[in-house]
Amino acid sequence: MSKSDQSVLRQFSIMIGGLVVLTVVLILAALAIHEHEPKETNPNQPARVAARLAPDGAVYAGNTGRAAMQAAADAAAKAAASQVAYGGTTDGKAIYDHLCTSCHASGVAGAPKTGDKAMWGPRLAQGIDTLVKHAIDGYHGPDGNFMPPKGGNPALTTEQVTNAVHWLTDQAK
């Protein structure tokens, strides 16, 4: 090996050795900084972990299960009833404008169009009580027409639905 090759090899070895020492120093500095870093504490973390690990459903059996299912259904009904639609207005036209117009203006799913006496005639012959019942409970007609319960908005009260039906039928008289 020539003298210049030995010089290059020595300089390269010194450079590699220096980089190894620098790497070790940086790793030790990072570990020291990490040890002194305060750990983040989240008081909600245990609750989030418990919710994430909780089962998606439950099995109800016997009378205890029936009681639990009934309690859950009652709670859901109470929650739905507490959310009254459209600020609690009982104006039939306002409810129609917010919800009913989407189907009754264009006849979607066989809905009788607003003001169309020919389409409303057979329905009006059934009586207003039947129309209100269909609007509240929903209706699947033999000819494929469809009315979702409460027009698809379960937050509507019976009074709101009744007033909307009365307003809508008045337009066809």
CB burial of 146-173 (b: ≥16 within 10 Å; e: otherwise) equals: ebeebbebeebbeebbbbbbebbbebbe
Whether the pLDDT of residue 82 is over 80: the answer is no
Task: Report all structural domains of the chain as residue ranges with CATH numbers, in order of start.
Answer: 86-170 (1.10.760.10)
Of 79 and 13, the structure prediction assigns the larger pLDDT to 13
Q: What is the pLDDT of residues 21-69, one digit of tens each?
A: 999 999 999 999 888 877 777 788 888 888 888 877 766 677 777 888 8
Of 32 and 78, the structure prediction assigns the larger pLDDT to 32
